[in-house]
């Protein structure tokens, strides 16, 4: 199969979709990114890299960082995190606060914001620097020591972060934070403001296609843990469109409001896409179409 050809075709085909939807603008730094950017990259389990379009331009990974903070916490602490967060799909966003109240402060899964705050809190306890730990993992796996937090984006998140602050205080009111609200928020905003390009991101997530084996060849996660991170991505990784994503794309995936999506073909490869303009569910319109075409053409689906 000519993967490089497939990626180049996809870039051509999705170009007209780049202006559908809207670029996230709740913080100014995100809103200025041009919707015409589009990149795609495939990193295979045996080390090959393919890319097309803007695949080497860095973007704000936002919620995609939640995959790495979860993996880090699991790497330290096999599965004790599941006492503090469930791993069930969340239903509509509308339900997030009511669910948190009904479940006495236990978030529905680690990929909604409430759950990610709990994971970051745990990572902060384990490492003393949660955002730093995520950055360190990304640098090491991508082999790129220049990966860093965009401080302006992080500050901007903090300035506009009343909703995350509300969630963190609600978690604290149920005793489900180990660190001060302010520290958890600062680490959370920083990890979300990490900047990577499609290539870095595909390399960094490759352990999920290799049963947990890191870039250096040593086990970062156990095989069962790696499968489980993929399972949580499939059921909970794309906000309220997890069912749609499984139906159309058929792969575990995690999206971010920066327009990036990472998808895993277990045993084979990681695919990353980036297109800043988002559909109603907060997922990249061009990115979703690209993954749809990619799985249709390669026949790679877990189903």
Our CB check for a copy of itself shows the closer of 72 and 185 to be 185
Residue 76 assigned as binding residue: no
Determine, following the binding rule CB under 8 A, whether residue 165 of this chain makes contact with a copy of itself: yes
**95 is known to lie in a ligand binding site:** no
CB atoms within 10 A of CB 88: 14
Distances (CA, A) of 76 to 40, 69, 122, 294: 31, 11, 10, 34
Range list of H helices, 104-194: 113-127, 130-142, 151-159, 162-173, 181-192
| Token pair recorded at residue 241 | 């469109």
Closest by CA to 30, choosing from 287, 276, 275, is 276
Orientation of helix 113-127 relative to helix 162-173, angle to 10°: 70
- Least Å from the CB of residue 230 to a copy of itself: 4
63 annotated active-site: yes
Q: Any binding-site annotation on 113?
A: yes
How many residues comprise the chain?
Answer: 303
From the candidates 184, 188, 226, 229, which is the catalytic residue? 188
Contact flag: residue 250 with a copy of itself (CB under 8 A): yes
Q: Least distance from C-beta 170 to a copy of itself, angstroms?
A: 4
Catalytic residue, candidates 42, 66, 203, 213? 66
The stretch near a copy of itself (CB under 8 A) out of 95-103, 125-133, 186-194, 199-207 is 95-103
49 lies in the site for a copy of itself, by CB under 8 A: no
- For the CB of residue 115, give the shortest distance to a copy of itself in the complex, in Å: 11
Q: How far is the CB of 295 from a copy of itself (least distance, A)?
A: 9
Q: Which of 1, 47, 145, 162 binds a copy of itself (CB under 8 A)?
A: 162
Q: Where are the alpha helices (DSSP H) in the chain?
A: 3-14, 28-31, 65-76, 96-102, 113-127, 130-142, 151-159, 162-173, 181-192, 198-204, 223-236, 242-248, 285-298
Question: Was 283 annotated as part of a binding site?
Answer: no
> Least distance from C-beta 234 to a copy of itself, angstroms?
6
Question: Is 257 annotated as catalytic?
Answer: yes
Among 40, 64, 154, 241, binds a copy of itself (CB under 8 A): 241
CA dihedral of residues 32, 34, 38, 44 (deg, nearest 10): -20
Pick left, alpha or beta for residue 239 (phi over 0 → left; psi -120 to 50 → alpha; otherwise beta).
left
51 binds a copy of itself (CB under 8 A): no
Q: Is 174 a catalytic residue?
A: no
239 is catalytic: yes
What CA–CA distance (Å, rounded) separates 148 from 163?
Answer: 25
Task: Summarize the annotated binding site for substrate as residue ranges.
Answer: 63, 113, 157, 164, 188, 239, 257
| Binding footprint of a copy of itself on the chain (CB under 8 A) | 86-92, 94-95, 97-99, 101-102, 108-109, 162-163, 165-170, 172-173, 181, 226-228, 230-232, 234-236, 240-244, 246-247, 250, 252, 266, 301-303
């Amino acid at each position: 199969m000519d993967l490089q050809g497939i990626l180049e075709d996809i870039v051509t085909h999705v170009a007209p979709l780049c202006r559908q939807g809207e670029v996230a603008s709740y913080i100014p730094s995100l809103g200025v990114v041009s919707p015409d950017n589009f990149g795609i990259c495939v990193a295979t389990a045996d080390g090959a890299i393919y890319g097309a379009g803007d695949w080497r331009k860095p973007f704000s990974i936002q919620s995609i960082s939640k995959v790495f903070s979860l993996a880090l916490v699991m790497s330290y602490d096999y599965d004790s995190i599941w006492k503090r967060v469930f791993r069930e799909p969340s239903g509509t966003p509308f339900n997030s606060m009511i669910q948190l109240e009904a479940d006495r402060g236990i978030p529905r899964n680690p990929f909604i914001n409430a759950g990610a705050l709990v994971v970051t809190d745990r990572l902060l306890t384990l490492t003393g620097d949660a955002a730093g730990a995520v950055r360190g993992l990304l640098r090491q796996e991508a082999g790129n020591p220049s990966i860093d937090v965009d401080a302006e984006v992080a500050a901007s998140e903090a300035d506009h972060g009343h909703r995350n602050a509300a969630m963190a205080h609600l978690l604290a009111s149920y005793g489900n934070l180990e660190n001060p609200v302010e520290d958890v928020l600062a680490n959370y905003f920083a990890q979300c403001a990490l900047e990577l390009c499609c290539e870095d991101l595909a390399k960094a997530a490759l352990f999920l296609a290799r049963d947990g084996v890191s870039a250096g060849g040593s086990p970062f996660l156990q095989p069962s843990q790696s499968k489980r991170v993929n399972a949580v991505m499939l059921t909970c990784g794309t906000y309220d469109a997890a069912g749609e994503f499984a139906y159309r794309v058929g792969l575990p995936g995690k999206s971010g409001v920066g327009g990036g999506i990472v998808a895993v073909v277990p045993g084979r490869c990681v695919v990353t896409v980036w297109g800043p303009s988002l559909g109603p569910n907060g997922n990249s319109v061009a990115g979703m179409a690209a993954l749809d075409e990619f799985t249709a053409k390669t026949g790679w689906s877990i189903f």
